[in-house]
Amino acid sequence: MSEGIQRIATAFASRRPAAALMPYLMGGFPTLEESRRIGEACVEAGADIVELGVPYSDPLADGPVIHEAATRALAAGANLAGVLEVARALAPRVPVVLMCYANMVLAPGAEKFVERLARTGASGLIVPDLPYEEADPVLGACDAHGLALVPLVAPTTPPQRLARIGARARGFLYTVSVVGTTGERAARAGRFAGVLARAKAATEVPVALGFGISTPAQARQAADAGADGVIVGSRLVRAAAESPDPAAAVGALVADLAAGLA
């Protein structure tokens, strides 16, 4: 097993039977330097894996909070090179999984992009607009460089398709909890168990639940419903947008989430 995939597996295993906490942060938001500090605050507050977003001009899977953060990060001068430096700074302390839209991965060519990402010490890659049918070139490159290409499944994904995606998952299976874009939502925890059971039956890698999870109570419910990992994004990005001290604000929320999962 290659190094990135191994690090992710170890991060999940070391938390069992509890669920791994996987905060998302937007690289370059509000600035590159501050996003690095936010990432470090996440690690200190108990993050097991950090999901690092690359700001993109047209983020189709994202709701208003993350879309706005991406727009502001780009306006503030963030670029891929800068976000990869954030990954490089965090990677010695925590497995980093980059979340990046397909056009930025394909622009230099998947092989070049993945090689560059691997050199930062990151462990994996999530491409939210690269479904199973389009993933081969990126999966091949990730496998060659020891990075986990983490696929997504949704509540709309039918069983046979879920099995195909699950069989080819690396690192973990990113399970979208709701039909919709990223963003905070009122508790729909009653649905978590069904979504998670379907996903777990379809794969041998850990299953992480994301989209619409923002509070410690929801994180706890996701873990109780069987999630191996819990991803929290928009709530943390909103805190980074609203607070005069983004790293402290995000760190405090991550600590609360960690306490909820302990």
Partner 1 sequence: MSTIEHRFGPYGGQYVPETLMPALAELERAWLEAREDPSYRAELDGLLRDFGGRPTPLYYARRLSERCGRRVYLKREDLNHTGSHKLNNALGQALLARRMGKPRVIAETGAGQHGVATATVCALLDLRCEIYMGAEDTRRQRPNVQRMELLGATVHSVDAGARTLKEATSAAIRDWVTNVADTHYVIGSVVGPAPYPALVRDLQRVIGDEARAQLAEREGRLPARVIACVGGGSNALGIFTAFLDDPGVELIGVEAGGEGIDTPRHGAPLTVGGRAGVLHGALSAVMQNEEGQIVEAHSISAGLDYPGTGPQHAHLRDTGRARYAAVSDRDALAAFRELARLEGIIPALETAHALAYTLGAADSELDLVCLSGRGDKDLAEVLALS
- Considering only 22, 38, 41, 153, the residue that binds partner 1 (CB under 8 A) is 153
For β-strands 50-53 and 229-232, DSSP reports them as unpaired
Half-sphere exposure of 48 (CA within 13 A, CB side): 26
- Cα 176 from chain centroid? 11
What three-state secondary structure class fits 22?
Answer: strand
Which residues between 190 and 249 bind partner 1 (CB under 8 A)? none
- Considering only 20, 45, 102, 142, the residue that binds partner 1 (CB under 8 A) is 102
Asked if 103 touches partner 1 (CB under 8 A), the answer is: yes
Cα 24–Cα 64–Cα 114 angle in degrees, nearest 5:
45
Q: Which of 237, 241, 213 is CA-nearest to residue 225?
A: 213
How far apart (Å, rounded) are the C-alpha atoms in residues 113 and 110? 5
Q: Is 51 a catalytic residue?
A: yes
Asked if 160 touches partner 1 (CB under 8 A), the answer is: no
CA dihedral 75, 81, 83, 89 (to 10 degrees): -140
Nearest CB to partner 1, comparing residues 2 and 79: 79
- Considering only 20, 90, 97, 176, the residue that binds partner 1 (CB under 8 A) is 176
| Selected range binding partner 1 among 62-70, 88-96, 224-232, 244-252, rule: CB under 8 A | 62-70
State the nearest-atom distance from the C-beta of 180 to partner 1, in Å.
Answer: 4
Asked if 76 touches partner 1 (CB under 8 A), the answer is: no
Q: Both tokens of residue 226?
A: 């069987």
- Give the binding site for partner 1 (CB under 8 A): 56-58, 60-63, 67, 71, 74, 79-80, 101-108, 128-134, 151-158, 161, 165, 176, 179-181
